[in-house]
Amino acid sequence: MKKFNFTLQSLKKYNDQVLDSEKSILGRLRAELAEMQSELDAKVAEYEQSIDKLNELVRGGTTAMRLSLHKKYVSSLQQDIYRIKGLMAHKREEIENQLQKVIDATKEVSKLEKLEEKQLEEYRYASQKEQEQIIEEFVTNGSSNGGNTP
């Protein structure tokens, strides 16, 4: 009997490649989100330090010009924090969409794997039947010779 060959092997290989690609994209998006989180954490820490510095300037007394400049700096940090949070929200949406693509690709690969298992099972069954047929013919031919071997 000929060797087992899954009829949709090229499609399965393609879907495996698609799945790997989608997982790679998902990993990149998650890494970008983690990088954004680090940037946000740094900005929040800088913002908190700037608030402390502003309070120190107010308590210690300073010029109106210096106080105004520091308030603008604190305000710009606050805007950066809001901007980063907005970008992170957008990135989370991208991740959700990409996660759905990975799930869909996984389902496609799984369907083909189940189909391949079914075809392999059918192949093994047919192979077993063929071997039984060969044995039966051998036994039949052996008994028709009268048990004599030439």
Tally of domains in the chain: 1
What does the pLDDT average to over 99-120? 94
CATH code for position 85: 1.20.58
pLDDT tens per residue, range 6-17: 888 889 999 999
- Contacts (Cβ under 8 Å, ≥6 apart) of 123: 4
Res. 150: pLDDT tops 80: no
Residue 11 maps to a domain: no
Task: Note down the domain range covering 53.
Answer: 20-142
User: Is 2 a member of any domain?
Assistant: no
Global pTM reads 0.72
